[in-house]
């Protein structure tokens, strides 16, 4: 998968994509990530990327031109119908569809070229949506200062789902959420840490009973903090 990130804060991304699974996936050429400064695609004397909203109101709006120029440069066209196959242009926005594991899986499976537009200010000129954007995505119901942290979250969720991105020791199939439940509790050495002991069952060697215990704990935890996950429609 190739991922192109459009932002007015390219520095925001420099280090986050250079650690752990993402770093390894880049080195193995499982994913290629490029970050572009939208200002480089702005024209005019001041190369501004934003302006005041028509109709009035607070805040600023991203101008369409730098975003159109960047997409044209990256994809060779600004016509959705002429995008290369398996291309998605995603706008990270509070108005988007909320990211869930199923959407991450869909993108990981279906997309070869992913362009991420990070919004800022009060939003992006609607013509960007009308013409360029194939998907609007939010990462949840809380207010961020911009789309950049959301883009990082999306990239992380996607890259670990790409074939061979995880080491053979781990598997995305074992992840919390893939069975619709939260994870069970984990313990490691020492058996007695400051008088806090490890549940006996985990030391028993009885793998069938351990399995049962873990499933029960996962269910209890999910019931307690994420009742919504137990309703199938929300999976």
The radius of gyration of the chain from alpha carbons, rounded to an integer in Å, stands at 22
Clarify whether 94 is annotated catalytic: yes
Of the candidate residues 49, 87, 113, 138, the single one contacting ligand 9D3 (CB under 6 A): 138
Q: What is the dihedral of CA 140, 131, 127, 59, to 10 degrees?
A: 30
Of the candidate residues 3, 35, 116, 139, the single one contacting ligand 9D3 (CB under 6 A): 139
Of 64, 88, 125, 160, which residue is the catalytic one? 160
Smallest separation (angstroms) from ligand 9D3 to the CB of 47: 22
Q: How far apart are CA 165 and CA 25, in angstroms?
A: 5
Q: What element of type H or E holds 189? A: none
Q: Is 94 in the site for ligand 9D3 (CB under 6 A)?
A: yes
Clarify whether 50 is annotated catalytic: no
> What is each CA distance from 213 to 197, 201, 208, 216, in whole angstroms?
16, 8, 9, 5
Of 37, 72, 175, 220, which residue is the catalytic one? 175
| Among 77-85, 90-98, 164-172, 204-212, the segment contacting ligand 9D3 (CB under 6 A) | 90-98
Within positions 143 to 182, which residues make up the interface with ligand 9D3, using CB under 6 A?
A: 143-147, 150
- Please classify residue 198 by burial: count the beta carbons closer than 10 Å to its beta carbon, then call 0-12 exposed, 13-18 middle and 19+ buried: middle
Q: Is 131 in the site for ligand 9D3 (CB under 6 A)?
A: no
Smallest separation (angstroms) from ligand 9D3 to the CB of 221: 25
Cβ density class 4-31: b for 16+ within 10 Å, e for less: bbbbbebebbeebbeeebbebbbeeebb
Q: Is 93 in the site for ligand 9D3 (CB under 6 A)?
A: yes
Clarify whether 23 is annotated catalytic: no
Smallest separation (angstroms) from ligand 9D3 to the CB of 77: 25
State the catalytic residues.
94, 122, 160, 175
């Amino acid at each position: 998968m190739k991922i192109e990130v459009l932002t007015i804060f390219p520095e925001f991304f420099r280090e986050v994509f250079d650690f752990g699974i993402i770093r390894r996936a880049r080195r193995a050429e499982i994913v290629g990530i490029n970050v572009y400064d939208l200002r480089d695609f702005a024209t005019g004397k001041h190369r501004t990327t934003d302006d005041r909203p028509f109709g009035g109101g607070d805040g600023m709006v991203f101008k369409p031109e730098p975003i159109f120029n960047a997409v044209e440069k990256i994809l060779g066209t600004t016509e959705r119908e002429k995008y290369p196959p398996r291309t998605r242009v995603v706008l990270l926005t509070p108005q988007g569809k909320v990211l869930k594991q199923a959407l991450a899986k869909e993108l990981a499976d279906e997309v070869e070229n992913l362009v991420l537009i990070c919004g800022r200010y009060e939003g992006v000129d609607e013509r960007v949506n009308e013409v360029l954007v194939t998907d609007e995505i939010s990462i949840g119901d809380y207010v961020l200062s911009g789309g950049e942290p959301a883009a990082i979250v999306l990239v992380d969720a996607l890259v670990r789902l790409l074939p061979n991105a995880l080491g053979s020791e781990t598997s995305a199939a074992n992840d919390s959420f893939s069975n619709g439940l939260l994870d069970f509790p984990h313990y490691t050495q020492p058996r007695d840490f400051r008088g806090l002991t490890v549940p006996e069952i985990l030391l028993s060697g009885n793998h069938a009973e351990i399995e049962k215990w873990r499933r029960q704990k996962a269910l209890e935890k999910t019931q307690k903090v994420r009742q919504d996950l137990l309703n199938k429609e929300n999976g």
